[in-house]
Amino acid sequence: MRNSQQEYSDILDAVNAREKDLSQTDCENILIKNGYTYEQAKNGSYVYLHHGNSLTSKRRGTKEEYAQILDSIRAHEKQPKECIAHLERMGFSYRQAQTAVYNYRKERHLIDK
């Protein structure tokens, strides 16, 4: 079975998971009943509930733009999730932000510090 976030979101949207304010466990159980593994359901539910409004990109950024933005907020002093949230608020998708922050931290040797 394919396991794209869009598929998880479509299934959870079909049961109005956000409108019903379902818990992550409820969402996981729905995805498991639809044939996904526990790990797929856990990750898909988390992203759906916590990043649902940022699944599609409203803009595209270059490596240089991400670096400039992250430098401007002193990303080297912040937790990765704070940096990801900042980029999401600026209109980047969750996955774009996650990748940009990872690459930024890797290039600056901030991973595992």
Whether 30 is in a domain gets the answer: yes
Task: Mark whether 9 and 49 lie in a shared domain.
Answer: yes
Neighbours of 34 (CB within 10 A): 15
Tokens of 39: 């790990």
Whether 20 is in a domain gets the answer: yes
**What's residue 51's pLDDT?**
74
Task: Mark whether 69 and 97 lie in a shared domain.
Answer: yes
Q: Are 48 and 5 in contact (CB under 8 A)?
A: yes
- As a whole number of angstroms, the distance between CA 27 and CA 32 comes to 9
Whether 82 is in a domain gets the answer: yes
Task: Mark whether 46 and 67 lie in a shared domain.
Answer: no
Task: Mark whether 102 and 84 lie in a shared domain.
Answer: yes
Whether 14 is in a domain gets the answer: yes
Identify the H or E element spanning 59. none
Task: Mark whether 40 and 70 lie in a shared domain.
Answer: no
**What's residue 57's pLDDT?**
64
Neighbouring C-alpha atoms within 13 Å toward the C-beta of 6:
3
Whether 47 is in a domain gets the answer: yes
Task: Mark whether 50 and 69 lie in a shared domain.
Answer: no
**Along the 113 residues of the chain, how does pLDDT read in single tens digits?**
456 888 998 999 999 998 899 999 999 999 999 999 999 999 989 888 887 765 666 678 899 999 999 999 999 999 999 999 999 888 888 889 999 999 999 999 998 75
| CA-derived radius of gyration, the chain | 16
**What's residue 6's pLDDT?**
83
Whether 70 is in a domain gets the answer: yes
**What's residue 93's pLDDT?**
83
Whether 81 is in a domain gets the answer: yes
Whether 113 is in a domain gets the answer: no
Range of the domain at 21: 5-54
**What's residue 111's pLDDT?**
85
Q: How many domains does the chain have?
A: 2
